[in-house]
């Protein structure tokens, strides 16, 4: 859930909001915010959305993952890149929950629900951990060395 708040623009910014006691914002971000505020008309209502900042995975990480990790494993195991990517997500980015809520027929029967994490929603740290898990697995179980990003072009 992402909270949304309504505010009204005034000639001095947002009405009834004291930023300094609740937020620290670098000066350049403060300047950007004020520029945006000044694009609205006086007395105009606006929505303010606050969500946790997330460092999305980087383009170099993404290129390395698909261009080296997924490519080399798909070649080694005989899958397409899409199939390999799906298999890797199931193996390294999923969890299985056991619950009676998913049965639908027998209340006493426990069903398993596997939830696969989206790699597109992983932050840089989580995506790096995901790749490292895959590399360790490939080395241990396939005897396949997946080079580090700085070892390939």
pLDDT in tens, 69-83: 999 999 999 999 999
Neighbours of 64 (CB within 10 A): 20
Which range marks the domain in which residue 118 is found? 59-151
Residue 43 counted as domain residue: yes
Based on the domain organization, do 14 and 79 belong to the same domain?
no
Q: What is the pLDDT of residues 99-138, one digit of tens each?
A: 655 555 554 555 677 889 999 989 899 999 999 999 999 9
| 54 lies in some domain | no
Contacts of 4 (CB under 8 A, 6+ apart): 47, 48, 49
Same-domain pairing of 88 and 23: no
- pTM score over 0.75: no
Torsion of CA 64, 65, 69, 75, to 10 degrees: -100
Both 71 and 129 in one domain: the answer is yes
Q: Looking at the structure, tell me whether residues 25 and 68 fall in a common domain.
A: no
User: Is 102 part of any domain?
Assistant: yes
| Shared-domain flag, residues 31 and 92 | no
For position 140, what pLDDT does the model report?
97
Domain count, the chain: 2
List beta partners, residue 116: 94
Q: What's the pLDDT at 82?
A: 97
- Winning range, highest mean pLDDT, from 11-25, 39-53, 91-105: 39-53
Evaluate whether residue 85 is within a structural domain. Answer: yes
Pair 109, 145 in one domain: yes
């Amino acid at each position: 859930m992402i909270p949304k708040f309504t505010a009204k623009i005034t000639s001095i910014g947002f009405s009834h909001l004291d930023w300094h006691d609740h937020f620290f914002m670098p000066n350049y971000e403060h300047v950007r915010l004020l520029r945006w505020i000044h694009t609205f008309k006086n007395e105009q209502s606006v929505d303010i959305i606050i969500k946790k900042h997330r460092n999305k995975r980087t383009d170099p990480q993404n290129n390395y993952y698909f261009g080296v990790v997924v490519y080399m494993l798909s070649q080694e195991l005989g899958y397409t890149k899409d199939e390999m990517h799906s298999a890797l997500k199931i193996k390294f980015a999923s969890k299985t929950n056991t619950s009676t809520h998913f049965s639908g027929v027998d209340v006493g029967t426990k069903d398993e629900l596997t939830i696969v994490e989206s790699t597109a929603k992983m932050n840089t740290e989580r995506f790096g951990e995901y790749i490292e898990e895959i590399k360790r697995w490939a080395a241990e179980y396939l005897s396949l060395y997946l080079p580090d990003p700085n070892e390939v072009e």
